[in-house]
Chain A
Amino acid sequence: MTSRLDSVDRSKGDRAKARAYGREFWPGMAAYALVLAAVLSWGGLDGHSSWRFVWALAPVLPAAWIARAVLRHVRRVDEYQKLLLLQSLAVGFAVAMLTAITLGFLGTAGLSLADAPWIVYGAGMLGWAVTGICAGRR
């Protein structure tokens, strides 16, 4: 029988930490989306102006803000959540490294992909996200 004590509602502390994370993470994501839209609209990355390199680096600033938010969140959570978070980050890192090695050897063998860095990024993020979701359901 399920009693009131079996409630799976988040605690006040959980909600406070989630709010603090959201306050730091979502402005970074919004800034990233805005900067990305600006770069794609006006950056002229496929042009010849030397300013295109400045435009190309612009999304790194909000991305660094997001990374800072994630690292601060890792420091904020408790020991068990830290373990789960670090496990998912480790899986994401391993997937990214394996993908990089795979693409690197394929490149050495003559099959080089122009979008290889984005494939590595996507694979790492996917590994992190899937492991994080699975760990969160435990």
Chain B
Amino acid sequence: MRGTTVRNRLRELRDARGWTQGALADRLDVSRQTVNALETGRYDPSLPLAFRIARLFGEPIEAIFDPDDATADAQSS
């Protein structure tokens, strides 16, 4: 069962810098497959990886990752 889904701006931030998925993967020390899974929402990163992503793009975590409000509200009610 999947819990709260988390949307992210990874693709947008990567495109803005002109990086391929492979180039971003090398910067984060993960695989291209992992970057693809993150961008397509199939995988939510661990906290350490989320911090690495935030540090790399120079933005706070909450500016990159956003819990899907509809799902979060449904779970809390």
* A and B interact: yes
Q: Does A77 sit within 8 A of B, measured CB to CB?
A: yes
Q: Does B4 sit within 8 A of A, measured CB to CB?
A: no
> What residue in chain A is nearest B11 (Cβ atoms)?
A5
Q: Is the interface of B mostly helix, strand, loop or mixed?
A: helix
Collect the chain B residues with CB atoms within 8 Å of residue A7's CB: 20-22
A78 to B27 CA separation, bound complex (whole angstroms): 13
Q: Is the interface of A mostly helix, strand, loop or mixed?
A: helix
Collect the chain A residues with CB atoms within 8 Å of residue B37's CB: 80, 138
Choice from B15, B26, B42, B45 contacting A5 with Cβ under 8 Å: B15
Q: Are A80 and B15 in contact (CB under 8 A)?
A: no
Interface residues on B, range: 20 to 34
Q: B residues engaging A (CB < 8 A)?
A: 14-15, 18-23, 25-26, 29-34, 36-38, 42-43, 45-46, 49
**A-B CB proximity, top 10 nearest:** A11-B22, A11-B25, A80-B34, A78-B30, A7-B20, A11-B26, A11-B32, A14-B31, A80-B43, A12-B26
Interchain residue pairs with CB less than 8 A apart (17): A6-B21, A10-B31, A11-B23, A11-B25, A11-B31, A13-B29, A14-B22, A14-B31, A14-B32, A79-B34, A79-B45, A79-B49, A80-B30, A80-B38, A81-B34, A136-B33, A138-B33
